[in-house]
Structure 1
Amino acid sequence: MCKAVFDLPELQRQEEELSAMTGDPSFWKDQGHAKEINRKLSDISYKISTINDFHKRLASIKESLDFLKEEMDADIFADADSSLISLHKDFDAFEKEIFYAGKYDNCNAIVEFHPGAGGTEAHDWASMLLRMYERYAEKHGFKYKVVDILEGEEAGISSATLEISGKMAYGNLRGENGVHRLVRISPFDAGGSRHTSFASVSVMPEITDDNTVNINPSDLRIDTYHSSGAGGQNVNKTESAVRITHLPTGIVVSCQIERDQLANKEFCMEMLRSKLFQLEEKKRQEEMDKISGVKKDIS
């Protein structure tokens, strides 16, 4: 578990900082921002209270063990043993609660793969990552399907989108965001040179609630085309694949895995909601960081 979660002095510093923000006369001018600050403050206060309780219980157990070093007592030993088992159980539960505390942790996950620098080698690395996450899903009991894929010219993939569904799918995968690197002797290099390749993995919660992200239909351009994916001969005969462009942001999503155009369109809308949600969350976090920075400068 990362230090930031159980670092009591750091949590107390954050609590003090957020409490100071709530005392600002202009705090409630932005209702949404104020509610988010209060939610974070409540969450941090709960963590501090729980950690302090763990410390007190652990100190009590230590006192019992110190006493037992001097004089063996069966009843005190039994109480200490029972208390330690209970503390361990509660700590494990708290650890899991903290790890999966995200609002969208129980959502399905949408995972996108894009090769970076490295040419054919990078395309192959992206396809390897795709297979690795498919195997991960199988091993952990998640369901998965490739909803969109564009094959590379020589090998691998140019892009792919994977849906992973199941309990806490996004919670388990949200830490995978970032650029992944591969260093190996390339099978595509006749000279047997060592190559370094990069591929990005982007993980988003699958947002199915229309009320979470508002999308104006007039902001969308919807294109249909012949699918190149799985699904039999019928897929390639009809324009079942769908591509949606969100004109204000330039975000493009596509899906071609289903035989039915409507089903592909519905999943495209879910992906678009997820991407717009991610964009708004990024903006909100940047604004929070900016406000926190201003507070630190003032203090």
Structure 2
Amino acid sequence: MASIDFSAEIKTLRSTYSSIEEVSNVDAIKASIAELSEAANAPDLWDNPDQAQKVTSQLSRQQSELERLETLKSRIDDLEVMVELADAEDAPEMLTEAEVELRDISKVLAELEVVTLLSGEYDQREAVVTIRSGAGGVDAADFAETLLRMYLRWAEKNNYPTQVLDTSYAEEAGIKSATFEVQAPYAFGRLSIEAGTHRLVRISPFNSQGKRMTSFAAVEVIPLIEGTEAIEIPESELKVDVFRSSGPGGQSVNTTDSAVRMTHIPTGIVVSMQNEKSQIQNRAAALRVLQSRLLLLRKEQEDAKKKELAGDVKASWGDQMRSYVLNPYQMVKDLRTNYEEGNPQSVFDGALDGFIDAGIRWRAASRNEA
């Protein structure tokens, strides 16, 4: 006799899958695939390589998403058939196989179920992430570069395209700051949980006395705006400076003034871009990120006003939120969710899904309690 009530477990799987399917909006995905396929088959598609790349990338992501959902549904159906056959043929070895499959499907569903919690206004958007070194000198700059690599590796593991827009290198090692896009649906919803102050404790490789050092880096995550939402910014409110792009240690990587620093005078927001080849491309990228920041700022001001009217004076969840400890013990711990991992190197190599999923569940629970 089976130790697992497969009937009840499969019923739970189907219920969870139905919730995921509803939120994912399979009909909308299919409609989008049809529209993108038509665009991809247009004879003049590659007349604009940038647009062509965008269309083909979006089509590939949508097709992968649909295939993942349909495959999962088929696995649940196959599991039910497997259990029925095992019962009919009195085959305990088949039930053992079914138990393994049940656990695997449950794990995949739990990961996908997190998407159903991403219901914020901008959660479905692509993301723009900026990392800045904080207190801690050269260790902080090195930590900021480690975080940049960590997020790019996380995106790579999830097959999310990325584009580094700007990198400002520190003099001795590491970076002062970096900005990059993650070009995937729900990238903002997932990565917004990473916003805040990150703290590193380790024996500094830059300290000749081998002292343990604490350093900090800040992570900012904003949603990428859509063209129809672009905030109009009068030229009179912009100050634009151009300069030469540079690489590590100040090494010139460009002999023309192609890098752009754009300042929004009323708010003081500054955006720098230098990774594109031309000044025009860098200016367009800077304006896009500036518009995204202004859109988020407007929403934050609206939310702050609502909190003021409601008498809500709780601190923001985005303050110091994660510690990476390499000495005297090895651990990465989220200070909001208490989720932790004992292998920092794995985390630095992009194993962030556990932290992100725990953070999304924590945030959803916090909103429900508010």
TM value normalised by structure 1: 0.66
Q: Which residue of 2 aligns with 1:184?
A: 202
Q: Which residue of 2 aligns with 1:10?
A: none
CA 1:86–1:208: 2 relative to 1, 3 Å: closer
| Cα distance in structure 1, aligned partners of 2:228 and 2:262 | 16
Deviation at 1:83, TM superposition (A): 4.4
Deviation at 1:212, TM superposition (A): 4.4
Q: Which residue of 1 aligns with 2:273?
A: 255
| Cα distance in structure 2, aligned partners of 1:110 and 1:189 | 33
Letter in 1 for 2:290: L
CA 1:241–1:85: 2 relative to 1, 3 Å: closer
Q: Which residue of 2 aligns with 1:106?
A: 124
8 Å Cα contact 2:275/2:282 also seen in 1: yes
CA 1:114–1:85: 2 relative to 1, 3 Å: closer
Q: Which residue of 2 aligns with 1:287?
A: 305
Instruction: Verify: 1:270 aligned to 2:270, yes or no.
Output: no
Instruction: Verify: 1:211 aligned to 2:139, yes or no.
Output: no
| Cα distance in structure 1, aligned partners of 2:210 and 2:174 | 19
Deviation at 1:192, TM superposition (A): 0.9
8 Å Cα contact 1:113/1:161 also seen in 2: yes
Instruction: Verify: 1:90 aligned to 2:108, yes or no.
Output: no
Q: Which residue of 1 aligns with 2:178?
A: 160
SS at the partner of 1:236? coil
CA 1:81–1:105: 2 relative to 1, 3 Å: closer
Of 153, 163, 174, the residue aligned with 2:192 is 174
Letter in 2 for 1:144: T
Letter in 2 for 1:160: A
CA 1:118–1:202: 2 relative to 1, 3 Å: same
SS at the partner of 1:237? coil
CA 1:159–1:97: 2 relative to 1, 3 Å: closer
CA 1:272–1:84: 2 relative to 1, 3 Å: closer
Deviation at 1:79, TM superposition (A): 8.1
Q: Which residue of 2 aligns with 1:57?
A: none
Q: Which residue of 2 aligns with 1:238?
A: 256
Give the alignment of 1:26-37 within 5 angstroms. Answer: none
Q: Which residue of 2 aligns with 1:39?
A: none
Q: Which residue of 2 aligns with 1:115?
A: 133
Structure 1 or 2, whichever has the larger Rg, is 1
CA 1:78–1:141: 2 relative to 1, 3 Å: closer
| Cα distance in structure 1, aligned partners of 2:220 and 2:253 | 28
CA RMSD of aligned residues (A): 2.6
Of structures 1 and 2, the one scoring higher in RCO (CA 8 A, sep 6+) is: 2
| Cα distance in structure 2, aligned partners of 1:171 and 1:85 | 24
Give the alignment of 1:42-61 within 5 angstroms. Answer: none
- Mind listing any 5+ residue stretches in structure 1 that lack a counterpart? 1-76, 295-299
| Cα distance in structure 2, aligned partners of 1:84 and 1:212 | 43
CA 1:83–1:271: 2 relative to 1, 3 Å: same
Letter in 2 for 1:252: V
Letter in 1 for 2:15: L
Deviation at 1:111, TM superposition (A): 0.7
SS at the partner of 1:122? helix
| Cα distance in structure 2, aligned partners of 1:288 and 1:276 | 18
| Cα distance in structure 2, aligned partners of 1:234 and 1:159 | 17
Letter in 2 for 1:259: K
SS at the partner of 1:284? helix
Letter in 1 for 2:139: E
| Cα distance in structure 2, aligned partners of 1:84 and 1:282 | 38
TM value normalised by structure 2: 0.54
